[in-house]
Structure 1
Amino acid sequence: MANQVVMGAMMSCSFGTAPGSLLVTSNQTVLSSGMPAATIMDFAPIANIPPFAMCTSIANPQVASATAAAFGVLTPMPCVPVTTGPWVPGAPTCLIASQPALTDSSQCFCAWGGVIQISFAGQATETVA
């Protein structure tokens, strides 16, 4: 069973250098363990998914440029997530504000090749099917 993700859940990006904390904006009325429950629509860069410190993806134009300037030595640059769509798969049988609930097994993808995953759901007492 997957855990319901709530405001403050910890997540990481495969190309980021530090974890980030999820901000829930899609729902402010449904609570789980006293915190707003997240949906798959909580995927907006900065508003929901904060930067992960530095980006190490060579697909990121800033990283590619800095790396070229350093004669091929990988040079991380500040992370600015560029999410390409909602979290997948979510929990289609558990709707919050008419959207599937976000679970700790869901993933979100960055245009620079990063895979964003939930490392801690923010609470561990509520499970969804």
Structure 2
Amino acid sequence: MGSPAVVTSAVVTCPMGAAPATLTVLPTSRVLVEGRPVATVRDMIPLLNIATFGMCMSPANPTVAAATAAALGVLVPMPCVPVLSAPWLPGSAKTLVGGAPATLQSSTCQCAYGGVVQVVVPGATKTMIG
């Protein structure tokens, strides 16, 4: 059995971020599930597909590291701008959308600052993909 389809308005989180974000999927593939565009593994562009997670708490983030150093080692969160360089993995082995594998609820995306972005609410409630 599959999992619910990941569509625009899905909720994603990063353990280094202070707040969840909403996934935005542009309707370029023209494939809709429950009236919303379906996400593919390519829908991982920061600030276009994946919004900010509020404040970043990763010491690997240069702005967090600098602010923390200025505060004599006390962690100082700074505004989050995800740095994602690879697609969502794993993608669906069975479902292609516009020639790319669909994003699964179990898919994750790695941030260069150490966070792992994951889908917590896929958006679709009735449509399953595998």
What band does the TM-score fall into relative to the shorter chain? over 0.9
TM superposition shift of 1:28: 4.3
SS in 2 for 1:41: coil
Partner of residue 91, structure 1 = 92
Partner of residue 116, structure 1 = 117
* Separation (CA, whole Å) in 1 of partners of 2:16 and 2:57: 5
1:2 pairs with 2:3: yes
Q: Can you list the C-alpha shifts for 1:1-33, whole angstroms capped at 9, x where unaligned? A: 222100000010010000000010273410001
Distance 1:26 1:44, change over 3 A: farther
* Separation (CA, whole Å) in 2 of partners of 1:127 and 1:16: 28
8 Å contact 1:26–1:39 — kept in the other structure? no
TM superposition shift of 1:103: 1.1
Partner of residue 82, structure 2 = 81
Partner of residue 47, structure 2 = 46
* Separation (CA, whole Å) in 1 of partners of 2:28 and 2:93: 16
Q: Percent of aligned pairs with the same residue?
A: 47
Q: Can you list the C-alpha shifts for 1:58-95, whole angstroms capped at 9, x where unaligned? A: 00000000000000000000000000210000102100
Partner of residue 64, structure 1 = 65
Partner of residue 37, structure 2 = 36
TM superposition shift of 1:128: 1.0
Point out the structure with the larger strand share.
2
Partner of residue 28, structure 2 = 27
8 Å contact 2:27–2:37 — kept in the other structure? no
8 Å contact 1:84–1:110 — kept in the other structure? yes
TM-score, with structure 1 as normaliser: 0.96
Q: How many residues align?
A: 129
| Corresponding letter in the other structure for 1:69 | A
| Corresponding letter in the other structure for 1:8 | S
| Corresponding letter in the other structure for 2:34 | S
List runs of 5+ in structure 2 lacking aligned partners.
none
* Separation (CA, whole Å) in 2 of partners of 1:109 and 1:97: 23
TM-score, with structure 2 as normaliser: 0.96
